[in-house]
Amino acid sequence: MQETSTPWFVYMILGSDEHVYTGITTNMARRWREHSSGKAGARYFRGRQPAFLCLLEEHADRSQASKREYALKRLHRKNKLTLITTSFANTEALLARFTWSHIPLVNESLPFWRTL
């Protein structure tokens, strides 16, 4: 019997301060709750709140996800905005596929959008 491994996800979250946070996880719903609690999530979210999920990508293993996270963190804001815009449909599909649709997804009508 072939064992399927748990997928890893790279994500970008827009914080309440309008900065983008990038991370990896195996469960986006759990990670969103951790970030929202201000206790179990990243130190970055202590004193800030996650506002919107901007990007979600699926990867086969932790190594691939970590390499992609590193590459995304090195992008300039303008390039991040382009990536978020071009990946919107994929992010939306992954949220629906994993029944994480309760996580708020960023959209272009938000006033900060052009300043990312």
> In 3D, which of 41, 8, 5 has the Cα closest to residue 25?
8
Please, which residues bridge with residue 52 across strands? 14
Q: What is the pLDDT of residue 111?
A: 60
DSSP state of 105: B
Domain housing 98: 8-109
Q: What is the pLDDT of residue 70?
A: 98
Is residue 109 scored above 90 in pLDDT? no
Query: For position 94, which CATH number holds?
Result: 3.40.1440
Instruction: Flag whether the pTM goes above 0.85.
Output: yes
Per the structure, the count of domains in the chain is: 1
- Residues 50-75: pLDDT tens digits? 999 999 999 999 999 999 999 999 99
Number of C-beta neighbours around residue 3 at 10 A: 4
